[in-house]
Amino acid sequence: METKIEIKKEQKEKVLTPGRIVWNNFKKNKLAIAGIFIMAFMLLFTIVGPFISSYAENGIDYGAMKAAPSIKHLLGTDELGRDVVTRLMYGGRISIAVGVVSVVIEVVVGALLGVIAGYYGGIVDSIIMRVADIFLCIPYLPILIVLGGIMSDFHVKPGTRIIWLMFILAFLSWPQLCRLVRGEVLSLREQEYMQAAEALGIRDSKKMFKHLLPNTLPTIIVTATLGVASNILAESALSYLGLGVIAPTASWGNMIQVVNNLYVLQHYPWLWIPPGVCIFLVAVAINIVGDALRDALDPKLRR
């Protein structure tokens, strides 16, 4: 009896769940593991860091304006005497939040419309795709600059401006994901399991969201991760131009804005290198992890 119980335990341990299979494939990619550690560090730095910092986001040290890095200020201070490390922490919260929240909205809208268009086809598909085509014809960066300028003219408050920026980025980005999901669904709906679901009389909503949408997950994950990095870069570019997140609220983009002349570029590297490095690390880490997740989730790439 004891031998049989031990054999059963060993068999249970050898059974691989879908989640374990994905993890086993994912952890083979050493760069992806490094990317996870970088992302975890940046999240801890931005979320937990402000609670242990000795300085406030806009706390001014009048005796140390544009001070070089020291024990008191590890990465120096800016032109107003504000601690650069502390502002990096708060700025990272804004930049990462803008990237993540805008992509969540983009995924909800794009995936929903994509699966509806691909499943129903016909006039529904034509209407959704024509709307997507209209959005794809809109020049991305010029529209962002124009909308940022409009918010500046209307003196939109910094907090409200951040929320509007999230929705604007999502509003301009959903068509790409919609077209990708729609293409996947057009292929998947012809599979045998969908024909079986049709024969069983399963309602349309269940077929779309239980059978079709989960099978587009690899595409959604890759697009979403690339979108997070892209939106972080877009926010940084707008903030650098003074059209995104505005002072006194910190973001990595408007922290780099100080390097607007050659003198600052040459003599105050601690003002612009740290936020630039943060943007670079987060964007690269997210892209690497997203690519590895795509490989792990796609059955065609498993060995």
Task: Say what the pLDDT of residue 70 is.
Answer: 86
Indicate if the pLDDT at residue 271 is higher than 60. Answer: yes
Look at residue 179 in the predicted model and tell me its pLDDT: 92
pLDDT confidence tier of residue 10, bands split at 50, 70 and 90: low
- Residue by residue, DSSP assigns 197-219 as HHHTT--HHHIIIIIIGGGGHHH
- Give the Cα separation of 218 and 175 in Å (integer): 17
Portion of the chain with pLDDT greater than 70, in percent = 92
pLDDT at residue 65, as a whole number = 81
Digit-coded pLDDT (tens) for 233-252: 888 888 877 778 887 888 88
Residue 56 lies in a domain: no
Instruction: Report yes or no: 260 and 276 within 8 Å, Cβ to Cβ.
Output: no
70 within some domain: no
Does residue 14 register a pLDDT over 60?
A: no
Query: 99: closest CA among 237, 216, 219, 295?
Result: 237
Residues paired with 77 in a beta bridge: 83
From residue 113, alpha-carbon distances to 102, 128, 132, 208 in Å are 17, 7, 10, 11
Q: Has residue 6 got a pLDDT over 60?
A: no
pLDDT greater at residue 75 or residue 5: 75
Q: Which amino acid type is present at position 273? A: I
Residue-level length of the chain: 303
Q: What is the mean pLDDT of residues 200-210?
A: 79
Residue 260 lies inside a defined structural domain of this protein: yes
pLDDT for residue 303: 47
> pLDDT tens digit string along 78-122?
888 889 999 999 999 998 999 899 999 999 999 999 999 988 888
Q: Would 149 be classed as within a structural domain?
A: yes
Q: Which domain holds residue 175?
A: 26-48+82-301
pLDDT at 191 over 60: yes
Q: What average pLDDT does the structure give for the chain?
A: 83
| CATH number of the domain where residue 210 is located | 1.10.3720.10
Separation between Cα atoms, residue 98 and residue 272, nearest integer Å: 20
The total domain count for the chain is: 1
- How far apart are alpha carbons 252 and 261 in whole angstroms? 18
Q: What's the pTM?
A: 0.82
Q: What confidence category does residue 193 fall into, taking pLDDT thresholds of 50, 70 and 90?
A: confident
**Residue 66 is assigned to a structural domain of this protein:** no
**pLDDT at residue 2 greater than cutoff 60:** no
- Least confident residue range of 1-10, 157-166, 184-193: 1-10
192, pLDDT greater than 80: no
In a domain, 54, yes or no: no
What 3-state DSSP class applies to 191? Answer: coil
pLDDT top residue among 85 and 300: 85
Q: Identify the band that residue 129 occupies on the pLDDT scale cut at 50, 70 and 90.
A: very high
Residue 15 lies in a domain: no
Average pLDDT of span 23-48: 88
Nearest Cα to Cα of residue 255 among 53, 85, 44, 47? 85
Confidence of residue 299 (pLDDT cuts 50, 70, 90): low
Check whether 18 has a pLDDT greater than 70: no
Task: Identify whether 105 is part of a domain.
Answer: yes
